[in-house]
Structure formats: structure tokens, C-alpha cells
């Protein structure tokens, strides 16, 4: 049996452009241990995390409301149990 191992955190991307009409996005986390994800900004009322933790290579869903015409950005932080971290910047315009 082949099992892919990731001893260090890896992501498909650290920057995403979001559609103005709103929607959701699956973001893959490549790491073999435990990890958490959180929003760095407080009081964000247009963006939502449906999962805040995971274990192993997995994805979490990020949902967002339609834009009201102004550009806006939210930053997510992924933290792994080995101390690795990464920020993901999501911009909607």
C-alpha cells in the first residue's frame, strides 16, 4: 500500500480571487498530521468557515456572500501541529 505523507504544510495556493456573486471554495490542506484554520480578522460578516480543523490530507470549505460592489479581503491562517503555518488571502471585488 502506498500512502502519501506530508511532513510539511503545503497548499494549492495562498491567494484566491472570489466571484462577486458569492459562493464557496474548497481549499486543500496537504499535511499528514492535525491542522486548524481560522480567520485573522474579527467581525467578518460575509465569510464563513464550515470546518475549523482537520487531520491528514483534506479540504475545508470557505463560503462567502455576494459582494456589494466594494473590494474586500479576508485572511485565513492554517496552523499545523508541527508548528508550520500559512496565510491564505481571499479577495472579492
Q: Which residues of the chain have pLDDT under 50?
A: none
Q: What is the pLDDT of residue 6?
A: 86
**Given this model, what pLDDT does residue 55 score?**
95
Q: Which pLDDT score is estimated for 2?
A: 59
Write 69-72 long-range contacts (CB < 8 A, 24+): 72/46
Give the separation between CA 39 and CA 19, rounded to whole angstroms.
19
Q: What is the pLDDT of residue 1?
A: 63
Amino acid at each position: 500500500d502506498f500512502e502519501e505523507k506530508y511532513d510539511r504544510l503545503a497548499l494549492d495556493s495562498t491567494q484566491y480571487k472570489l466571484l462577486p456573486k458569492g459562493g464557496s471554495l474548497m481549499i486543500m490542506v496537504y499535511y499528514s498530521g492535525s491542522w486548524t484554520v481560522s480567520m485573522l480578522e474579527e467581525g467578518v460578516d460575509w465569510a464563513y468557515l464550515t470546518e475549523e480543523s482537520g487531520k491528514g490530507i483534506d479540504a475545508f470549505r470557505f463560503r462567502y456572500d455576494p459582494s456589494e460592489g466594494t473590494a474586500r479581503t479576508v485572511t485565513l491562517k492554517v496552523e499545523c501541529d508541527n508548528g508550520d503555518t500559512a496565510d491564505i488571502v481571499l479577495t472579492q471585488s
